[in-house]
Amino acid sequence: MSQKQDEENPAEETGEEKQDTQEKEGILPERAEEAKLKAKYPSLGQKPGGSDFLMKRLQKGQKYFDSGDYNMAKAKMKNKQLPSTGPDKNLVTGDHIPTPQDLPQRKSSLVTSKLAGGQVE
């Protein structure tokens, strides 16, 4: 850009510059976003959207551990005092073996749905 143009049409030039970067991002906004993500989490999986997501999806709802963890924890527990269950019972606790008393009591919704004009608390 010549100096003269800069003076005469400053708005236009910034407009063009803007357009350039916008074009780059316009063509591949996803790539720009991907770069952002990789910058934040460099160790993010090699497989794009691969089995990690799917496995997580299939295991939705699993809060407690398996028998392998159970046996490992049991061995550790011999030397440790049983920690009392804190207010957040939803934490996956590798060392704590849940007993039926510790499991969060799942109460069914006894209150009528608010859509049906149930009590507004």
Q: Is 3 or 68 the residue whose CB approaches other proteins more closely?
A: 68
**What distances in angstroms separate CA 115 from CA 112, 119, 121, one per listed residue?**
8, 10, 13
**Among 113, 94, 91, 118, CA closest to 104:** 91
State how far the Cα of 86 lies from the Cα of 82, in Å rounded to an integer. 12
Token couple for 54? 């799917």
Q: Could you report how far apart the first and last alpha carbons of the chain are, in Å? A: 66
Nearer to other proteins, 1 or 44 (CB): 44
User: Measured from the CB of residue 101, what is the shortest distance to other proteins in angstroms?
Assistant: 14
The distance of closest approach from Cβ of residue 8 to other proteins in the complex, given in angstroms and rounded to an integer, is 23
Q: Which is nearer to other proteins, 26 or 83 (CB)?
A: 26
Nearer to other proteins, 86 or 117 (CB): 117
Positions that interact with other proteins (CB under 8 A): 22, 25, 28-34, 36-38, 40, 44, 48-51, 53-55, 57-58, 60-66, 103, 106-109, 111-117, 120-121
